[in-house]
């Protein structure tokens, strides 16, 4: 089976829109969570989130000048001007990752784009509906296509001139792990040289936030006056996840192709396992998560003892965090107590569909630096959580293989494995 490596990465979160800046902030234990500024919250319960609504694209555009061909830059500037908020940040991030991987060297018909997620535009829909109800003849005349999920991948394809397969793959909060799985298939079985795994920003609306609060999924009660404390995976006072804006794009590539181009290689992607619980409700099941972790190890040919670190799904919900810890202990046995586990969402909140790719990028950066960021806001853990979740602060830790968990509403369980790249595989 073809080896697949990561050759390009880019993020845009409220903690930073450069790889080093993002990683530095994580290692410093900084929180991106504030009160919402770009979402109307006066009449809803949920007041806090990690907000990118005021993001200024111009510095990023200027940083890309000279790194990409002029004709691509021209298309990018036009798209940034015309696209919706979410799509605008997607094309910026995709361009950044494309430049990082030097994909201008690769035949554009041999590059795929897989966008992870669905229903990307709730706040755009909300604003268009208000305009429509005010006057049906005066709302965004491009809504018919700008409001489609496919506009994300299509816009990236247009800007970058990519003519390989493009599509959108949705699986709730497991979406970008599933998009990575599809990207590996495109390279291993469908002749692609490279693929962009795209995690667009989920544009929360007041309706979305209130719905999450009403089912007890989102934090809304105790931390509105101290938002930086609201996201607290593994802490006994966790009361739900903190919704967050964030975009991440990762380029994966046939290892032989990457080596022939002499491009930078960040890590090797071993595989992604996806299973389900046969349950449409947003209720995590221990058996399902345990089965997915065990299956991922088996499919990748990795013994539990070889895994050094787990980037946990850890959303800060009462049930979800407890079940994930139990699943790790069930799947890894005694080795669970030698693992390091941390929760990136404690600082950036829950980016939903894009969370897996953003947190994978964070994990790869930590592997490169041999440092793990803290899980912040852990003041007291559950009695049954006796694992090392990096609650005391950043730690030095050598990582050869890590696991990325991503579990979505509806019993969607996905587990990805990565390792430090060596030209001769072991």
Residue 425 lies in a domain: no
Residue 81 lies in a domain: yes
Whole-angstrom distance, CA of residue 174 vs CA of residue 86: 19
Helix ranges (H only) for 301-354 are: 318-332, 345-348
Residue 124 lies in a domain: yes
- How many C-beta neighbours within 10 Å does residue 45 have? 15
For residue 36 the two structure tokens come to 């919402």
Q: Divide the 426 residues of the chain into consecutive groups of 10 and give the mean pLDDT of each group.
A: 96 98 98 95 94 96 95 97 96 98 97 97 93 91 92 98 98 98 98 98 96 92 93 97 97 98 98 97 95 98 98 97 98 98 98 98 98 98 94 97 97 98 78
Residue 1, pLDDT score = 85
Picking from 225, 244, 267, the residue at the C-terminal end of a domain is 267
Whole-angstrom distance, CA of residue 324 vs CA of residue 290: 8
Domain harbouring 303, CATH code: 3.40.47.10
- Same domain? 247 vs 357: no
Whole-angstrom distance, CA of residue 294 vs CA of residue 286: 12
Q: Which of 138, 97, 108, 118 is closest to 9 using CA atoms?
A: 97
Residue 284 lies in a domain: yes
- Same domain? 148 vs 198: yes
**Pairing between β-strand 4-12 and β-strand 267-276 as defined by DSSP bridges:** antiparallel
Q: Which residues contact 290 (CB under 8 A, 6 or more apart)?
A: 326, 327, 330, 331
Residue 286 lies in a domain: yes
Picking from 267, 295, 315, the residue at the C-terminal end of a domain is 267
For residue 306 the two structure tokens come to 């070889």
Residue 46 lies in a domain: yes
Residue 424 lies in a domain: no
Whole-angstrom distance, CA of residue 127 vs CA of residue 110: 38
Contact 152, 198 (CB under 8 A): yes
- Same domain? 229 vs 346: no
Q: What share of the chain is helix, strand, coil (3-state, %, to 5)?
A: 40, 20, 40
Whole-angstrom distance, CA of residue 226 vs CA of residue 311: 26
- Same domain? 100 vs 244: yes
Whole-angstrom distance, CA of residue 410 vs CA of residue 412: 6
**Beta bridge pairs of residue 367:** none
- Same domain? 337 vs 359: yes
Q: Can you give the C-alpha Rg of the chain in angstroms?
A: 20
- Same domain? 292 vs 180: no
For residue 330 the two structure tokens come to 């069930």
User: What kind and span of H or E run contains 58?
Assistant: helix 58-64
- Same domain? 408 vs 387: yes
Residue 341, pLDDT score = 98
For residue 120 the two structure tokens come to 């990307």
For residue 156, give the 3-state DSSP assignment: helix
Whole-angstrom distance, CA of residue 217 vs CA of residue 138: 36
- Same domain? 44 vs 188: yes
- Same domain? 205 vs 314: no
Whole-angstrom distance, CA of residue 123 vs CA of residue 57: 19
Contact 417, 403 (CB under 8 A): yes
Picking from 267, 293, 308, the residue at the C-terminal end of a domain is 267
Residue 3, pLDDT score = 98
Domain that holds residue 38: 4-267
Contact 368, 259 (CB under 8 A): no
For residue 144 the two structure tokens come to 């018919």
pTM over 0.85: yes
- Same domain? 253 vs 318: no
Q: 177: exposed, middle or buried (C-beta count within 10 Å: 0-12, 13-18, 19+)?
A: buried
Number of domains in the chain: 2
CA-CA distances (angstroms) from residue 168 to 112, 189, 249, 281?
11, 18, 14, 23
Residue 426 lies in a domain: no
Contact 183, 164 (CB under 8 A): no
Whole-angstrom distance, CA of residue 251 vs CA of residue 353: 17
Q: Which residues contact 376 (CB under 8 A, 6 or more apart)?
A: 29, 31, 231, 232, 346, 347
User: What kind and span of H or E run contains 275?
Assistant: strand 267-276
Whole-angstrom distance, CA of residue 2 vs CA of residue 246: 31
- Same domain? 212 vs 275: no
**Pairing between β-strand 194-199 and β-strand 111-116 as defined by DSSP bridges:** parallel
DSSP symbols for 217-253: -B--SS-TTSGGGS--TTBTT--SB-BB--EEEEEEE
Residue with tokens 């960021």, as numbered in its chain: 373
- Same domain? 243 vs 318: no
DSSP symbols for 175-186: HHHHHHHHHHHH
């Amino acid at each position: 089976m073809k080896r697949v490596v990561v050759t390009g990465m880019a993020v845009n979160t409220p903690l930073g829109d450069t790889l080093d800046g993002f990683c530095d902030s994580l290692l410093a234990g900084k929180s991106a969570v504030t009160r919402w500024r770009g979402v109307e919250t006066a009449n809803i319960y949920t007041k806090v989130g990690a907000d990118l609504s005021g993001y200024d694209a111009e510095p990023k555009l200027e940083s890309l000048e000279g790194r990409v061909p002029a004709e691509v830059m021209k298309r990018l500037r036009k798209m940034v001007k015309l696209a919706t908020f979410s799509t605008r940040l997607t094309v910026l991030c995709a361009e950044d990752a494309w430049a990082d991987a030097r994909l201008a060297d690769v035949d554009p018909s041999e590059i795929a784009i897989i966008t992870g997620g669905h229903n990307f535009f709730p706040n755009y829909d909300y604003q268009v509906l208000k305009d429509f109800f005010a006057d049906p003849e005066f709302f965004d005349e491009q809504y018919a296509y700008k409001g489609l999920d496919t506009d994300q991948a299509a816009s990236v394809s247009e800007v970058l001139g990519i003519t390989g397969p493009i599509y959108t793959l949705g699986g709730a909060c497991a979406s970008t792990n599933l998009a990575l799985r599809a990207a590996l298939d495109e390279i291993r079985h469908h002749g692609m040289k490279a693929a962009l795994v795209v995690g667009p920003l989920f544009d929360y609306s007041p309706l979305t936030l209130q719905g999450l609060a009403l089912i007890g999924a989102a934090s809304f009660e105790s931390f509105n006056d101290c938002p930086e404390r609201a996201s607290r995976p593994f802490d006994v006072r966790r009361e739900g996840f903190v919704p967050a804006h964030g975009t991440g794009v990762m380029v994966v590539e046939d290892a032989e192709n990457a080596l022939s181009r002499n491009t930078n290689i960040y890590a090797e992607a071993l595989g992604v396992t996806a299973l389900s619980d046969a349950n449409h409700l947003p209720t995590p099941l221990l058996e399902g998560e345990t089965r997915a972790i065990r299956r991922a190890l088996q499919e990748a040919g990795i013994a539990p003892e070889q895994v050094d670190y787990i980037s946990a799904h850890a959303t800060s919900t009462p049930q979800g965090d407890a079940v994930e810890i139990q699943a790790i202990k069930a799947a890894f046995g005694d080795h669970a107590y030698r693992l390091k586990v941390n929760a990136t969402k404690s600082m950036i909140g829950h980016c939903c569909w894009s969370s897996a790719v953003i947190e994978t990028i964070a994990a790869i950066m930590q592997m490169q630096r041999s440092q793990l960021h803290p899980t912040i806001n852990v003041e007291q853990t559950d009695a049954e959580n006796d694992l090392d979740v990096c609650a005391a602060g950043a730690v030095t830790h050598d990582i050869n293989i890590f696991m990325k968990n991503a579990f979505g509403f509806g019993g969607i369980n996905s587990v990805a494995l990565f390792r430090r790249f060596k030209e001769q595989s072991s």
